[in-house]
Amino acid sequence: MSDDQELDLSALPDDELVAQMHDDLYDGLADEIAEGTNILLAREWTASDVLNEALVEGMRIVGIDFRDGILFVPEVLLAANAMKAGMKILRPLLAETGADTIGKVVIGTVKGDIHDIGKNLVAMMLEGAGFDVIDLGINTDVDEYLDALDEHKPDILGMSALLTTTMPYMKVVIDTMVERGIRNDYLVLVGGAPLNAEFGEAVGADAYCRDAAVASDTAKELVLRRRMMASEDA
Amino acid sequence: MPETDTPRVLVLACGALAREILDVVAMNRWRHVTLECLPVGLHNRPEQIPAAVEQRLAAASQTYDRILVGYADCGTGGLLDPIVDRYGATRLPGAHCYEFFATSPRFAELHEAEIGTLYLTDYLVKHFDRVVWRGLGLDRHPQLLDTYFGNYTRLVYLSQRPTPRLVNSAEAAAERLGLRFEHIATSYGDLETSIAEFAAAADLRLPQLAESV
C-alpha cells in the first residue's frame, strides 16, 4: 500500500482508530476527526468516552509537545479546530445524556483586549474536561464579569489577557469582587502570554495557568478540593 | 586620547530596531556606541526575550560601562525589568516598540479609539511576509487568518522613514489581512529621546566621553 493511499478509518479496530484519531488531531485533520467520532459513536461508544479517550487524550499529547517546543501555535490551532469538529458532534449528545459536569466556568478576555486565541483554547479544554463553560468573549469589563457571576453562579471565573497594558485589569475585577464581598464565592484563574505566577498572586487570583492543559488540570483540582473542604465543613 | 579612556557603551536591541538605532546613533555622531541585536524571531516568542537578554547582559556587563537594552516590555509581562536592573542597564520605555515610536499618549489614544488595531513599523512592513505571514504559519495554513485576525478591524502603519513603496506595502498587508488601512508618520518618537537621555547620562558619569565624540 502506498503511503498516500487514503486510510479507511472504519476498517480499523477501536484501539487503532483511537490511536489514529490522536495522530489526526495532532495533524489538525478536522474532517478525519469528525469521521472517527461518528464511527466510534456508531460502534455504541458513549459520547463521554469518545470525548475523553479520543479527543481530550489527543489534545493532551498536543499540549505536551507544545510545551516542549515540538509543536508551535499554528499547529496547536489546527489541532484545536479538529477537536472542535469532534466537539460539534458530541456536544448535543453529551447534553442529551445528561453527562455529569464537573462544574461551571465563566471566562472572558479582559477590557481593552481583543485577543482570544488562548482563551478559546482554555474554554475548549475546560469543556472537554467536563465543565459547563460560559464564554463572555473579548473586551469584557468588570460589570459584564460580575453580571455573569450573578447570573450563572459558576465555580470558576477565568480571565485572559495578551497585552501587558491590559493584564492589570484583572486586579480591577478581583478588587471589585472583594469590595462586594463575593471574592471567596468563586475560584479565580488567570492566564495569558505576558502573565506569570507572581502576577497571578499579586492580583489575588487563586492560580495562574500557563497553558490550556494546565488550566484544565488546575480547574479540576481546585474545584474538587473546594468541594471536599465544603463537605468536611458540613 | 588612549582607547582605554573611552567609555564602552552598548545598545543591546531587538533586531527589528537595528536600522532605526543606527540612524539615531549616526545622526548624533555617537561613535562610542556599539550596537548588538538579538534575533528578530523573538518578536513572536516574547517569553524567550528575558533569558536571551540576560545571557547577553551577563557577558556584556564585563565589557561595557553602560548598557541600553533596546526593548520595551515587548510582551514579557514585566520579567525583563528585574534583569535590566540586576545588570545596572536601562531599557526603552513603554509596552511595545509601537508605543515608543508613536509616543505613549498618542498610542493610548490610538488604542482607546479602536482596540482592534494591528500596528506595523517600517521593519514589520519590510519583513511582513517573513515575520507576520510566515511567522504565524499563514503561508501553510491560510485558514487560520480569521483565528488570528478575526477580532481586528484596522491596520495602522506607524512609519519611521516612509517611502511610497513602504506605504504601498503596508496597504497591501492590510488588504491581505482584510483590515482597514491608516498611515501615521511617527519618525523615531521616544526611541530617539530615550537614546539621547541615555547618552546624556553616560556623558555626565563619564566626562571624558565628550572628548571622544
Measured CA to CA, the distance from residue A47 to residue A147 in angstroms comes to: 32
Model confidence, pTM: 0.86
The residue of chain A nearest to residue B74, with distances taken between CA atoms, is A164
B206: which 3 cell numbers?
Answer: 563619564
Measure CB to CB from residue A193 to each of B75, B95, B140 and give the nearest one.
B75
- Asked if residues A113 and B115 have their Cβ atoms less than 8 Å apart, the reply is yes
- Residue B8 CA, chain-centre distance (Å), reads 22
**What is the pLDDT confidence band of residue B43, given thresholds at 50, 70 and 90?**
confident
Q: How far is CA B38 from CA A50, A194, B35, B98, B139, in A?
A: 46, 19, 10, 18, 25
pLDDT at site A170: 98
8 A C-beta contact, residue A233 and residue A215: no
β-sheet bridge partners, residue A189:
A158, A207
Please report the ipTM that was assigned to this predicted complex.
0.85
At residue A56, φ and ψ (nearest 5 deg) are: -65, -40
Residue in A with minimal Cα distance to B149: A115
SS3 A156: strand
Question: Which of B77, B115, B147 is nearest residue A164 as measured by Cβ atoms?
Answer: B77
Convert the pLDDT of each residue in A147-198 to its tens digit. 999 999 999 999 999 998 899 999 999 999 999 999 999 999 999 999 999 9
Domains of chain B: 9-94+190-201 (3.40.50.510), 104-185 (no CATH)
Regions of chain A where pLDDT drops below 50: 1-2
Q: Looking at residue B203, what is its pLDDT?
A: 60
In this structure, of A101-110, B19-28, B53-62, the range with the lowest mean pLDDT score is: B19-28
Band the pLDDT of B208: cuts 50, 70, 90. very low
pLDDT at residue A2, as a whole number: 44
Which of residues 162 through 191 in chain B touch A, CB cutoff 8 A?
none
- Residue B201 pLDDT > 80: no
CB contact under 8 A, B151 and A114: yes
Query: What was the pLDDT predicted at B5?
Result: 60
pLDDT > 70? residue B165: yes
For chain A, positions 160-179, list CB contacts with chain B under 8 A: 162-165, 167
